[in-house]
Amino acid sequence: MLTREHELLKDTVREFAEREVRPPARDLDERQGFNPAIFHRIGSLGLLGVTIPENFGGGDMDILGATLCMEELGRVCASTALSYLAHSILCVHNIHANGNEAQKNKYLPDLCSGKKIGAMAMTEPDHGSDAMGLETKAVLEGNEYYLTGRKMFITNGTDADTIVVYASTGNDRQISSFIVEKKFSGFSVGKKLSKLGMRASPTCELIFDRCRVPKENVLGKLHEGIDQMQRTLNVERITISGISIGIAQAALEDSLDYAKERKQFGKPIGDFQLVQKMLADMYTWLEAARSLTYRAAKAQDAGEGSTSLASACKVYASEIATQACLHAIQILGGYGYCKDYNVERYLRDAKLMEIGAGTSEVQRVLIAKQLLKSNL
């Protein structure tokens, strides 16, 4: 299913993740720390702009390649994978897909080298699933837009230098996106949120108080925000499914190791058929999620992607990841419930996957809508 190039990429990221990302993962989770230095190191692999051309410092890979990066990072530290996704897909891929040449030349090289950290701000305190109802306004005065409003739950927001921000630029849901730099006047970082999981990926509120944004920082064309949002969301849903697969893979690996070592009633618990059922179910779910996600990625790469396919892999991979983590905790018994083992972290991280990038309920609404429209 994977080309030689994809296999090579997967192996490279796995080796990097084991060496650089795994060692600090548990400590970062414990103290809700963030490790921006990891961005420089991922940048040195050429993967911060994994989907964009080499002339901007990117990795020139496809959506399937980006998904594999998420999977391998997600397998050792889902928080790092989430921050990497916000940077490489929501910001970098977005600017490349929707920006003009001047914007690409100005922003992409520093984002690809890791000199600058990226984020994307769509969600607001009162508008999550109903993102199109956003209230942040951008008003043109002379050569500058003045942005006023608040954004909520923004991954990397505390540390981001370059943020793609969605705001209303007219009536009737006319939305545009803007490239905002953290040094722009009127921009400030609000409260960092304390979270159940994904604790090593910083999430915060952003405040725009007549934030001055030059006219040339409208990403692409004015009022194009909704189309841009739709295009990027499909890519986000597919690539984020890679993180779910990585978490489920880690849950299965840890469960297998434990089932072989832990003895009860004089034999390894892996000999008990009720434990074997849990392992077999985890494997089956994982392989099904992987196949569906790779298929959605390949369809997107071939220009045949659809919202229903992207949403299907998002909803399935995220829900089986949570279930796989619950099984892993059950297999590890009391130890699985304690922080000396990683599986409780996997579960806390997995739950976010059913919420971020559109909840499972919203994905199902989208799938049903598209199915009904095509009279299937």
Q: What residues are labeled active site?
A: 236
- Out of 121, 147, 180, 238, name the contact with ligand FAD by CB under 6 A: 121
Rounded CA gap, 146 and 189, in Å?
A: 17
352 lies in the site for ligand FAD, by CB under 6 A: yes
Q: Among 21-29, 45-53, 100-108, 355-363, which window interacts with ligand FAD (CB under 6 A)?
A: 355-363
Q: Closer to ligand FAD at the Cβ: 30 or 287?
A: 30
| Contacting ligand FAD within 192-231 (CB under 6 A) | 195, 198, 203
Q: Can you read off the two tokens belonging to residue 268?
A: 């390894």
Q: How far is CA 319 from CA 281, 283, 312, in A?
A: 13, 14, 11
Total site size for ligand FAD, rule CB under 6 A: 22
Q: Among 22-30, 62-70, 116-124, 285-293, which window interacts with ligand FAD (CB under 6 A)?
A: 116-124
- Out of 120, 310, 315, 367, name the contact with ligand FAD by CB under 6 A: 120
x-marked contacts with ligand FAD along 293-332 as a string, rule CB under 6 A = ----------------------------------------
123 lies in the site for ligand FAD, by CB under 6 A: yes
Element housing 175 (H / E): strand 175-181
356 lies in the site for ligand FAD, by CB under 6 A: yes
84 lies in the site for ligand FAD, by CB under 6 A: no
Q: Can you read off the two tokens belonging to residue 371?
A: 């199915």
Rounded CA gap, 292 and 235, in Å?
A: 14
Q: Closer to ligand FAD at the Cβ: 198 or 289?
A: 198
Q: Can you read off the two tokens belonging to residue 69?
A: 């990066």
DSSP 356: T
Rounded CA gap, 134 and 150, in Å?
A: 10
Can you tell me which residue has the tokens 């392992």? 279
x-marked contacts with ligand FAD along 31-70 as a string, rule CB under 6 A = ----------------------------------------
Q: Is 152 exposed, middle or buried (0-12, 13-18, 19+ CB in 10 A)?
A: buried
8 A C-beta contact, residue 200 and residue 251: no
Rounded CA gap, 84 and 148, in Å?
A: 27
Q: What angle do CA 232, 286, 42 make, to 5 degrees?
A: 50
Please give the residue ranges that form the binding site for ligand FAD (CB under 6 A): 86, 120-123, 128-129, 153-155, 195, 198, 203, 352, 355-359, 361-362, 365
